[in-house]
Structure 1
């Protein structure tokens, strides 16, 4: 088996609400809308994030993304109105935990 690409997915109840939140999170509009109910952000050539509208499953997703500068990210997210984002110390790294409007967990990790 050879896996060359990964798309993490958050399942949401309202795509319009989620789109606005994830646009503020990533600082840009989605890179693709491959089908009705699906938004994609391509964060590199080999990984990205999908936001999928499926109300019955909404809020049960989580993803972990590495970030090189958690403090700068936290400041940007706070300014964007995402949250009063404050990184915290974990066992082996620092983390920034966020929840989207449906309760899906997005965790950024970094030094």
Structure 2
């Protein structure tokens, strides 16, 4: 087996509301709409994020994304109107934890300053 790509996944109730939130999170519109009910942001050649509308399963997803500058990200999220508690120290890194409108967890991890 040779896995060549990973897509983190978030399941939501309302795709329009989720598209707005994730567009503000990533600072751009989705890169693809592979099928009805599915949005994709391609963050690099080998990884990205999928947002899938499935109301009965929504709100139970988690993803962790590495970020090189959590402080700059926090400032950008403030400008985009996305609520957060700012970067926090964890055991081996710093994290910035968010919840999308359905309560799905999106955690950005970075190195200590």
2:63 aligns with 63
Unaligned runs of 5+ in 2: none
2:22 aligns with 22
CA-CA distance at 1:66 after TM superposition: 0.1
Structure 2 CA distance for aligned equivalents of residues 42 and 7 of structure 1: 8
Deviant stretches of 4+, over 2 Å: none
CA contact (8 A) 1:75 1:85 kept: no
CA contact (8 A) 1:78 1:85 kept: no
Give the aligned CA root-mean-square deviation in angstroms.
0.6
Unaligned runs of 5+ in 1: none
CA contact (8 A) 2:88 2:96 kept: yes
CA-CA distance at 1:79 after TM superposition: 1.0
Q: 1:43 to 1:67 in 2, by over 3 A?
A: same
Query: 3-state DSSP class of the match of 2:33?
Result: strand
Counterpart mapping for 1:30-109 below 5 A: 30-109=30-109
Aligned residues: 111
